[in-house]
């Protein structure tokens, strides 16, 4: 006859161990270093990976740091995954790790298919959640299928540094050690649900205002025209037509509006084989929609964008 305890006491039930690092790339390098001990196969990465002279590449630098062979798979115009290409590469048996990126906080819709590919070919599935902390922990539409989740905490919270790596039940973690365990206290101090709601409201407010600028014609379009119920955005990405993205970015920042151009330059390793993604990287600009942005800021943000389009 079975018995039921007064309280939960089984340590492994729904456990997803978390380790904290000074940066996401430090956590990624720790993971790959330990994997290399038991698996000499390579790693599959999406071809849309950014680089800057100041910061390098957050996801690719650790791969190079451990000397891991890498191949890059293609993405569609909306940055969704080409599952057929992933499947073909997995069938070669040359790869032990597959990395997917939830760009700008939007959960990839093909995760169930990708999970099946990894299971069929004995590959570890790593979800890059650098932009998707809140989509994962509040929305629960990202970070669900992966064996490992990699987070960049300083991109989500008002802290100067911080990364986190989480592991699904049953994934070996031998040797994993936090180098910045105090970060757990830093992020638990915040109301994650309230932050998520503010980010979603800002995204919807901005996208609605941008959609009502008919006089701009074909000057831009929204990369992410709809917000799924469970997604929490990191930024609002917009495709700027022509060759004026950098000028719009500079003009708006000079006016005090903190625009960014994420992935403005792709790593050299993908530029020859993925020219369509290189072109895409030259057109996207990102509006801030973080929790510090007030509703009263949205009109001025959009007005600044409108002026910049006219000037450039």
Average pLDDT over residues 54-69: 96
Domain map (residue ranges) of the chain: 18-188, 193-311
What pLDDT score does 2 carry? 73
Contact 122, 180 (CB under 8 A): no
Return the CATH number of 18-188, one of 3.40.640.10, 2.30.40.10, 3.20.20.60, 1.10.357.10: 3.40.640.10
Checking if the pLDDT of 1 tops 80, the result is no
Q: Average of pLDDT values for 177-183?
A: 96
d(CA 203, CA 222): 11
What pLDDT was estimated at residue 173?
A: 84
Extended strands (E) in 194-268: 220-222, 235-240
> For residue 266, what is the DSSP state?
B
Element holding 201 (H helix, E strand): helix 192-211
Burial of 259 (C-beta count, 10 Å sphere; 0-12/13-18/19+): buried
Distance CA 214, CA 242 (A): 17
H or E segment to which residue 63 belongs = helix 61-65
Burial bucket for residue 104 (CB in 10 Å: 0-12, 13-18, 19+):
buried
Q: What is the pLDDT of residue 171?
A: 87
- Please check the confidence at residue 15 and state whether its pLDDT lies above 70: yes
How far is Cα 252 from Cα 309, in angstroms, rounded to an integer? 10
Whether CATH 3.90.1150.10 fits 193-311:
yes
- Is residue 288 a contact partner of residue 258, using CB atoms and an 8 Å limit? yes
Average pLDDT over the chain, rounded to whole?
Answer: 95
Q: What is the pLDDT of residues 241-265, one digit of tens each?
A: 999 999 999 999 999 999 999 999 9
Q: Give DSSP secondary structure letters for 88-100.
A: HHHTTT-EEEEEE
pTM: 0.96
Q: What is the mean pLDDT of residues 73-77?
A: 95
Task: Report pLDDT for 3.
Answer: 85
Per-residue pLDDT of 99-143, as tens digits, reads: 999 999 999 999 999 999 999 999 999 999 999 999 999 999 999
Asked whether 146 and 118 are in contact (CB, 8 A), the reply is no
């Amino acid at each position: 006859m079975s018995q039921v305890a007064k309280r939960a006491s089984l340590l492994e039930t729904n456990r997803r161990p978390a380790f904290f690092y000074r940066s996401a790339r430090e956590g990624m390098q720790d993971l790959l270093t330990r994997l290399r001990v038991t698996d000499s196969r390579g790693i599959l990465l999406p071809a849309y990976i950014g680089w800057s002279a100041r910061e390098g590449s957050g996801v690719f630098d650790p791969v190079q740091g451990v000397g891991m062979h890498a191949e890059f798979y293609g993405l569609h115009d909306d940055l969704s995954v080409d599952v057929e290409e992933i499947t073909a590469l997995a069938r070669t048996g040359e790869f032990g790790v597959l990395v997917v990126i939830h760009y700008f906080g939007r959960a990839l819709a093909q995760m169930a298919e990708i999970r099946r590919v990894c299971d069929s070919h004995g590959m570890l599935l790593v979800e890059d959640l650098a932009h998707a902390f809140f989509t994962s922990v509040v929305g629960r539409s990202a970070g669900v299928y992966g064996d490992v989740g990699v987070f960049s905490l300083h991109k989500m919270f008002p802290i100067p540094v911080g990364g986190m790596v989480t592991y699904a039940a049953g994934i070996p973690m031998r040797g994993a050690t936090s180098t910045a365990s105090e970060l757990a206290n830093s992020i638990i101090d915040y109301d994650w649900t309230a932050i998520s709601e503010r980010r979603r409201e800002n995204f919807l407010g901005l996208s609605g205002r941008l959609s009502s600028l008919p006089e701009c014609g074909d000057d831009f379009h929204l990369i992410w025209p709809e917000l799924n119920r469970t997604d929490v955005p990191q930024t609002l990405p917009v495709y700027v037509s022509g060759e004026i993205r950098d000028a719009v970015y500079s003009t708006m920042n000079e006016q005090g509006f903190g625009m960014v151009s994420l992935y403005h330059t792709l790593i050299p390793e993908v530029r020859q084989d993925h020219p369509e993604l290189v072109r895409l990287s030259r057109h996207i600009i990102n509006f801030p929609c973080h929790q510090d942005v007030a509703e009263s800021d949205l009109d001025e943000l959009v007005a600044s964008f409108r002026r910049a389009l006219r000037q450039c």
